[in-house]
Chain A
Amino acid sequence: MSRAATDPTNRRLPGMSWPARIGWLALLAYSIYAASLLDITWARLLIGLEQGANFLARMFPPDFSRWKLLLHDLSESLEIAIIASAVGIILSMPIGLLAARNLMPDWVSWPARMLIAVCRSFHPVIVAILFVKAVGFGALAGVLALIVASVGFIGKLFAEAIEEISLKQVEAVRATGAPFLNVIIFGVMPQVLARFIGFSAYQLDSNLRNSTMVGIVGAGGIGGTLFAAFQRFDYDFVLAILLAIIALIMVSEAFSARLRATFQ
């Protein structure tokens, strides 16, 4: 038990470390610099707040008179999300497996990882625009865009999950002489299936959110109606649409939680 007394010259409370201090100052300096660069002044903010209040006033009460149109477009968004998720999930499993560096040789895993990286890097909206230019306006473009987004998301997380598994279990199954597919099913999948389902549920959610928005660029769903309403200054209809979207997503989150509970 050391009874060494503190050196009398050292009896000061350590403040924030220097790197931390510099970090905070840098952040502050950057914020001020960037704000001035982007021409953000207090005047604009105040005007904006007033406009915001006007805006909110025009949005209330929400206008549900065109509920048939609303429901039709919302259903289309839902359909886009469901199909894109189904296809995306089905595609992600093999692609994710191929991208796992601990299971596959480099010449297989590298192209798969590149594919996933490309799928991930572009915002679904950009992908949607490209598909619209290629296959025309409508839900098909939306579905294709969200399939790309799903593969990018689930594929990456799935590959990472596989790379974290214990290879001992895989070796054990391999040692029984099982063919490759069986090794995957009985050695790899039990360890990662729960997480795969989790990612899939998350992506279903994410696709639903995105599907409500790809319509803004013409890829089907309620986004188009929303954009049109904005352009016509129909703000009370805008609020109705937003509330419908929020409601849909809350329901889907509840469903997604149930789904995860059943399978895990």
Chain B
Amino acid sequence: MKPELSDGRDARGSGPDARSLVIRELTKEYVRGTRVLDGVSLTVEGRGLTAIIGPSGTGKSTLIRCINRLVEPTRGEILFMGQDIAHLRGRALRTARRRIGMVFQEYNLVERLSVIENLLCGRLGYVNPFAAWLRRFPAADIARAFDLLDAVGLGAFAKQRADALSGGQRQRVGIARALMQGPDLLLADEPTSSLDPRTSVEIMELMVDLAGKAGIPVIVNIHQVELARRFAARVVGMSGGKIVFDGPPGDLTDDHLKRIYGGEGWLAT
């Protein structure tokens, strides 16, 4: 039974548009004439992890970051829960952003704050700044923070400073912080690129597990193809700013990989 969050909503959302993300003809030019994203269209629904793979510089990170507007799209529509968020500003943008959680490659925790405070930072979109400064978070939020901390296995670290944790532990905190938002979508921008292989697997498992329990889709930008194959329900391959593959990991053949990444020598066969 999911506890209610402080904003009164049940964490599961409502309606057929719940948690659907529809991207239409998304284009991004950092420099005029050079398109990092070229008319990308994508629909993500339901639960499950979607892995975006592709070579460096092909726009994977740009795509993810356009969704929560950390990067401004040049053209295109991004429909999230039925609303076009590509052109929102100010308060409306913040309201949309708090429904989207994000996990970062460098964890991006506030190092001098304690772990539990970092988690509560996930609720900053819901709490007024003055109360947040005085650390007056609603009791429901605080309880949920401790619950989430237990769920990621870091219950004993609640009061410790974030910079006292290892990389893998910090990423768990990052995941917990993102889930504290009670989001309808979880984004992850190369969440395992700074971690060792074993910890990478643990983090992927954790994301699949917790997002599955919350009933929300996950979109992960990842460069380790094996991790994508192992954990994703759907793989999207990008090359040159366009989607060149979209399907279950079982369908991903060496030919597809060649097309996505180019070159031959790196393939195992």
A and B touch in the complex (CB under 8 A): yes
Cβ of A11 within 8 Å of any chain B Cβ, yes or no, is yes
Determine, out of A1-9, A29-37, A149-157, A199-207, the stretch whose residues face the partner at the interface.
A1-9
Q: Which of A25-83 contact B (CB under 8 A)?
A: none
Cβ of A19 within 8 Å of any chain B Cβ, yes or no, is no
Tell whether A11 pairs with B159 under 8 Å between CB atoms, given A1-B153, A1-B202, A2-B153. Answer: no
Min CB–CB distance A136 → chain B (angstroms): 56
Contact B146 A14 (CB under 8 A): no
Can you name the residue of chain B whose Cβ is closest to the Cβ of A8?
A: B146
Contact B156 A15 (CB under 8 A): no
A interface residue count range (under 10 / 10 to 19 / 20 to 34 / 35 or more): 10 to 19
User: Contact string, A168-202, partner B, CB cutoff 8 A, digits 1/0?
Assistant: 00000000000000000000000000000000000
Tell whether A11 pairs with B120 under 8 Å between CB atoms, given A2-B153, A4-B155. Answer: no
Min CB–CB distance B121 → chain A (angstroms): 12
Cβ of A261 within 8 Å of any chain B Cβ, yes or no, is no
Cβ of B142 within 8 Å of any chain A Cβ, yes or no, is yes
Contact A13 B116 (CB under 8 A): yes
Cβ of B175 within 8 Å of any chain A Cβ, yes or no, is no
Tell whether A6 pairs with B153 under 8 Å between CB atoms, given A1-B202, A15-B135. Answer: no
Contact A11 B153 (CB under 8 A): no
Tell me, in angstroms, the Cα distance from A40 to B114 when the chains sit together: 41
Tell me, in angstroms, the Cα distance from A12 to B146 when the chains sit together: 9
Tell whether A6 pairs with B202 under 8 Å between CB atoms, given A11-B142, A13-B137, A15-B135. Answer: no
Q: Which of B130-167 contact A (CB under 8 A)?
A: 135, 137, 142-143, 146, 149-150, 153-156, 158-159
With a cutoff of 8 Å between Cβ atoms, the chain A residues found around residue B116 in the complex are 13-14
Counted as pairs of residues, one from A and one from B, with CB atoms less than 8 Å apart, the total is 34
With a cutoff of 8 Å between Cβ atoms, the chain B residues found around residue A2 in the complex are 153-156
Tell me, in angstroms, the Cα distance from A5 to B154 when the chains sit together: 8
Can you name the residue of chain A whose Cβ is closest to the Cβ of B206?
A: A1
With a cutoff of 8 Å between Cβ atoms, the chain B residues found around residue A11 in the complex are 142-143, 146
Tell whether A6 pairs with B149 under 8 Å between CB atoms, given A13-B137, A14-B159. Answer: yes
Tell whether A4 pairs with B156 under 8 Å between CB atoms, given A13-B116, A14-B114. Answer: yes
Can you name the residue of chain B whose Cβ is closest to the Cβ of A3?
A: B153
Contact A6 B150 (CB under 8 A): yes
Can you name the residue of chain B whose Cβ is closest to the Cβ of A10?
A: B158
Min CB–CB distance A212 → chain B (angstroms): 41
- Quick one: which of A6, A12, A13, A14 contacts B156, CB cutoff 8 A? A6
Min CB–CB distance A26 → chain B (angstroms): 20
With a cutoff of 8 Å between Cβ atoms, the chain B residues found around residue A10 in the complex are 158
Tell me, in angstroms, the Cα distance from A3 to B154 when the chains sit together: 7
- Quick one: which of A1, A3, A5, A13 contacts B135, CB cutoff 8 A? A13
Looking at B120, B137, B149, B155, the one whose CB has the most chain A CB atoms below 10 A away is B155
Tell me, in angstroms, the Cα distance from A10 to B155 when the chains sit together: 11
Tell me, in angstroms, the Cα distance from A145 to B120 when the chains sit together: 56
With a cutoff of 8 Å between Cβ atoms, the chain B residues found around residue A6 in the complex are 146, 149-150, 155-156, 158
Q: Which of B96-139 contact A (CB under 8 A)?
A: 114, 116-117, 120, 135, 137
Tell me, in angstroms, the Cα distance from A10 to B149 when the chains sit together: 13
Tell me, in angstroms, the Cα distance from A12 to B116 when the chains sit together: 10
Can you name the residue of chain A whose Cβ is closest to the Cβ of B168?
A: A1
Min CB–CB distance B144 → chain A (angstroms): 11
Tell me, in angstroms, the Cα distance from A3 to B149 when the chains sit together: 10
With a cutoff of 8 Å between Cβ atoms, the chain A residues found around residue B143 in the complex are 11
Q: Which of B224-263 contact A (CB under 8 A)?
A: none
| B residues apposed to A, CB below 8 Å | 114, 116-117, 120, 135, 137, 142-143, 146, 149-150, 153-156, 158-159, 202
Q: List 8 A-B contacts (CB under 8 A).
A: A1-B153, A2-B155, A5-B150, A6-B146, A11-B146, A13-B117, A14-B114, A14-B116
**Contacts A4-B156, A13-B116 given; 9 further ones with Cβ under 8 A?**
A2-B153, A2-B155, A5-B150, A6-B149, A6-B150, A6-B156, A11-B142, A13-B117, A13-B142
**Top-9 shortest CB links A-B:** A6-B155, A5-B150, A5-B155, A4-B156, A11-B146, A3-B153, A1-B153, A6-B146, A4-B155
